[in-house]
Amino acid sequence: MNIPPPPTLSSSTKNCFLPNVTVNNNIPPPPQIPSNSETSANNATVTINNNNNQVTPPPPSFLFPLNNANTKSPIKKISTKRTPLDVSKVKNYPIDLPIDWGSIHNVALSGTGSTGVIFVEVVEGQVTVIKAGVGLANEMFAALVASKILNLRSPAMRLIEYSPPNFIKKKITNSTSTYTNYREWGDIKQQLEKWAIKHKESIIENKIKKELNRAFFFAMEFIEGSVSLETLMNDDDLANELLHNEVILNDIGKLIIFDIILNNCDRFPITGIWDHQGNEGNILFSKIEKRLCCIDAVCTSIIERTTRKGYCEKIKEFVIQTLGHEEETDDNFFTDYFTVVTGVSFDLEHKKMIWRGIKEATKLLKDNGFDKIVELKEQVEKLKRGSDWADVWYNSVLTIDLEFIKDVFSIITSDNV
């Protein structure tokens, strides 16, 4: 095989500058850097040879630093473990202010009470409550009766509902964009699921998918410093502080009347009316506000005539025993339950504070009149404007039977029982 000779330079390339390259098997020492002819850039030195206008490159170690283990910057391992949300250390984020649901900090599920309660830290250190369920219309009605008529502390609520785009009426504006009620409904579901997936919280993810698969749910006020009666079982000092507070004892009396009017039987065990063990998780206090808070209340209407008549007879007996004299005696069955649960004892003056709350509640009912209750039901009925899958809101409103409430209302407010 004939190997062709190397190509000769053409006249056009003879005048091009080509560096002189000398092949030498002996490795030369690093070039000497004259003090009068050096240029630095990024710690790499280039030497210019003035004799032949050639550039001598710096040693390789200057151009490409050795990958020495001693020169490596330590790599910090970032932990992805989430710190659980401690609801005892956060404050309320007002539900009437705009919320950026895309900036959720933390999420927690309620350990006690009703299902469908999700605590969402929407701003660092501030929480809004999301609550879902089939009986929300009834629950909102009860909350309005408690707060608007009996002056009880009840968390504020805002309806978040699905509405088709052509049915949107209400707009909610936040600092970055304009939301429709429909868009907020979708954002809450989407961002909560996204947060749960990101933090690998499968239980929270499944809870969100199940509970928020509805046409509506509530954004609710978070009660700061809230403790249940169940919590007070293990805190003697706090139990005595709260259960001997005059405002709270007065609230207990008003809450008893409230529960009787609506037949909200899942709270206090009152002999002769509701014979059960009581629900300590459904009796909530705010240790910051020093108030009893009305939560998870509903109207349990009795439709069947005979059963309703029996309930009304029990209420008549209650009114005779409780309100049939000017001031309560030491024979008071309202405090026995609290003593059994917490060990707190009550003297006669404490019992009189509860009795005064009962009297105040009956007076507030008289002053407002039954028409106020009718008005509140109509307000709840008209609140839902968007889609109502399977008529859930409508059916919840139907469970509020005004005829039943009126029968009990008449007994409680009567002067001639």
- Residue 288 or residue 33, greater confidence: 288
Q: What is the C-alpha to C-alpha distance for residues 56 and 375, in angstroms, rounded to an integer?
A: 94
Query: Is residue 355 a contact partner of residue 332, using CB atoms and an 8 Å limit?
Result: yes
Per-residue pLDDT tens digits for 56-76: 554 444 333 444 445 455 555
% helix, strand, coil for the chain, step of 5: 45, 15, 45
Tokens of 67: 């990958």
Strand partners, 333: none
Residue 292 pLDDT greater than 50, yes or no = yes
Q: What is the C-alpha to C-alpha distance for residues 243 and 291, in angstroms, rounded to an integer?
A: 10
| Mean pLDDT to the nearest integer, 231-244 | 95
pLDDT at 29: 56
Per-residue pLDDT tens digits for 114-129: 567 999 999 999 999 9
Helical residues (DSSP H) of 199-304, grouped into ranges: 202-211, 229-232, 236-243, 246-262
Q: What is the C-alpha to C-alpha distance for residues 313 and 400, in angstroms, rounded to an integer?
A: 21
Per-residue pLDDT tens digits for 249-269: 999 999 999 999 999 999 999
Tokens of 40: 């630095």
Per-residue pLDDT tens digits for 163-203: 766 544 444 444 333 344 668 999 999 999 999 999 999 99
Q: What percent of the chain has pLDDT over 90?
A: 64
pLDDT at 187: 94
State the DSSP H helix or E strand holding residue 348, giving kind and residue range, or none if neither: helix 348-368
Sign (positive or negative) of CA dihedral 164, 169, 170, 176: positive
pLDDT at 313: 96
- E-strand spans in 117-161? 117-123, 126-131, 157-161
pLDDT at 223: 95
Per-residue pLDDT tens digits for 315-342: 999 999 888 766 655 556 689 999 999 9
Cα 17 → chain centroid: 75
Q: What is the DSSP letter of 153?
A: B
Q: What is the C-alpha to C-alpha distance for residues 363 and 369, in angstroms, rounded to an integer?
A: 10
| Backbone angles phi and psi of 371, in degrees to 5 | -60, -30
pLDDT at 176: 35
